[in-house]
Chain A
């Protein structure tokens, strides 16, 4: 596959407030302290729209807003990916379906579509380009990364990848224990530009030992959400070094990512 280029990042997770702050931690210049998710305020969305959103939508948009803060884009294709979408909304709807007359809220219903974060993102940014919303279960991050790279390389257009996952509420939570919220957005270009941070070559079907984080707290975070499998890649981008990473892809499969710094 042709190489593609990362030129901007956004991230939000417990103890990670922004790409700028996360990069200092991932370079080892600062300690990582797990904790609560930072307050989410994606003000790219107008207040009347934001009021109708959920934690999952806000998390995804916060990462988007962070990634868009570096450069200006008139339009971007988007690839959203999440293992299971918005289980808070599923819980609210399934509870309502058990009540007399099944009073499903219209707002919850339109928020229940897997592409709800993508829809709000396009409303907030005015981007009219192609937008897809994917799932690859625990390999969701690599599924999204591959799809974004394919789109950039084949269609020769910039693509924003947004990978996000959130904890499940009770009573669903015991079927997905240990989940942490994690959102990451990565802007990918088909050509080298002056803003390019790293070059990526994706090799699906090639595996090996899954890349891990050396810091034990960051490693705990990595395994707590499919989107957090981006952490080894984020670390390499923060350090602007060369690396060969192995990321979980589909069930029991892996994908290899070769990375080179652009300057």
Chain B
């Protein structure tokens, strides 16, 4: 059968999260097993939990010309875009293809909702919000795309995907389709989510926040740690050349089960993983590493374990990297995709940090120690509220 969608090459990437700014900070922390989690010190939040906070956001406002976008989320995007020569690579793509031919696909879950939280604190005696509140360029989920499009001076197709914790995995699938349809010649994909009261107190209200460091797949796992982060990648056609890894397959599915609980047998998760393999034309036993969604809630890990076992069995090494960064929600897809690219490029499989003893009820081959092993193919999983699932299959450059 004719292949519906061709692979695309990842020609540049960058990320910023609790491990630090830029690719080297994340790689060093993963290789030396240093977590970015800390006891919660975000604003005056009184929850007993751990968070993955990015240092320095508070001290680095946006340039005056972009002040209408001023909020924590756009600040973090701005910080991340200045690293690893990423913006320069995008500018080079713009000069190669034209600004109209470079698409932008951003994922976020809460965008700059922190700006609205702050505005509510500043209501006057009549209950009115401050006059300088600018929701369209801060809070509204398109604002992150609007900001990045301005900053990178892109004029091609653009959109924001907001499907909770799968948001910035799905931007890869969207970009691959737009490239295939010939609507752009290159695509910037990214994800940015920042700490805010809504997610900290919201996940806490659902009983999903751990008072300990999160321990994916552990017998005593009891919830997530919320993190923040930003990641960006530049996608071009495979013929673009270079040594960059390839996005070979994307799988997207819906659980059709529950708003905030995954299907217990991981039905939708398995569908997404199977579809990614099918699109990539790769057999399950060729996959050398799976970066799990692995949030460390009892039900999420159990559902994902069931799905992995159904498709792959206990063979491929797996790990969740939430123990390093916390759960960066709408940024998790792209950040963990970049971790997966690092595994392919460096032959380095990160362990499941913080996990002491694997739950006996879970059977996947979860790495408790890091491994050095050359792999050709690796998968990254992202699953979100609303039963929204996305799996991405990457391969080493060829």
Contacts and interface: CB of A to CB of B under 8 A. Distances in A.
A129 B123 contact: no
Contact of A112 (B157, B183, B198, B384): B198
B183 A135 contact: no
B109 A250 contact: no
A97 interface: yes
Interface string B232-271: 0000000000000000000011111111100000011001
Interface string A107-134: 0011111111011101101111111111
Nearest to B203: A109
Given A93-B198, A130-B253, A137-B146, A113 B205 contact: no
A155 to B, nearest CB: 6
A123 B161 CA distance: 20
Given A85-B141, A154-B180, A136 B160 contact: yes
B120 interface: yes
B259 A133 contact: no
Given A123-B259, A146-B157, A154-B180, A130 B252 contact: yes
A136 B116 contact: no
B5 A135 contact: no
B5 A132 contact: no
Interface in A64-90: 78, 83-85, 90
A143 interface: yes
A261 to B, nearest CB: 24
A132 B183 contact: no
Give the interface residue-count category, chain B.
Answer: 35 or more
A1 B202 CA distance: 42
Contacts of A251: 146
A96 B202 CA distance: 10
B170 A113 contact: no
A172 interface: yes
B385 A119 contact: yes
A150 B59 CA distance: 41
Interface stretch (B9-17, B83-91, B127-135, B212-220): B127-135
B259 A116 contact: yes
A147 B201 contact: no
B164 interface: yes
A123 B5 contact: no
Given A128-B253, A131-B163, A151-B177, A104 B385 contact: no
Which secondary structure dominates where chain A touches chain B?
mixed
B165 to A, nearest CB: 9
B256 A123 contact: yes
Contacts of A90: 113, 116, 139
Contacts of B142: 83, 135-137, 140
Contacts of B259: 52, 110-111, 116, 119-120, 123
B162 A150 contact: no
Given A104-B202, A154-B181, A131 B388 contact: yes
Given A135-B140, A172-B129, A105 B205 contact: yes
A175 B135 CA distance: 8
Contact of A126 (B149, B173, B197, B256): B256
A228 interface: no
A239 interface: no
B109 to A, nearest CB: 7
B117 interface: yes
B197 A102 contact: yes
A128 B159 contact: no
B136 interface: yes
23 contacts: A1-B182, A84-B141, A85-B141, A97-B198, A102-B201, A106-B260, A116-B259, A128-B254, A131-B252, A131-B254, A131-B386, A132-B161, A132-B170, A132-B174, A135-B140, A135-B159, A136-B158, A146-B157, A151-B177, A154-B177, A172-B116, A172-B135, A204-B183
Given A122-B256, A132-B252, 19 more contacts: A84-B141, A98-B123, A102-B197, A102-B201, A109-B198, A109-B203, A114-B109, A115-B164, A116-B385, A127-B256, A130-B253, A132-B174, A134-B160, A135-B162, A137-B136, A171-B127, A174-B128, A205-B100, A250-B158
Interface of B: 4-5, 100, 109, 113, 116-117, 119-121, 123, 127-129, 133, 135-136, 139-142, 145-146, 149, 157-164, 170, 173-174, 177-178, 180-183, 197-198, 201-206, 252-260, 267-268, 271, 384-388
Interface of A: 1-2, 52, 78, 83-85, 90, 93-98, 102-106, 109-116, 118-120, 122-123, 125-137, 140, 143, 146-147, 150-151, 153-156, 170-172, 174-176, 204-205, 250-251
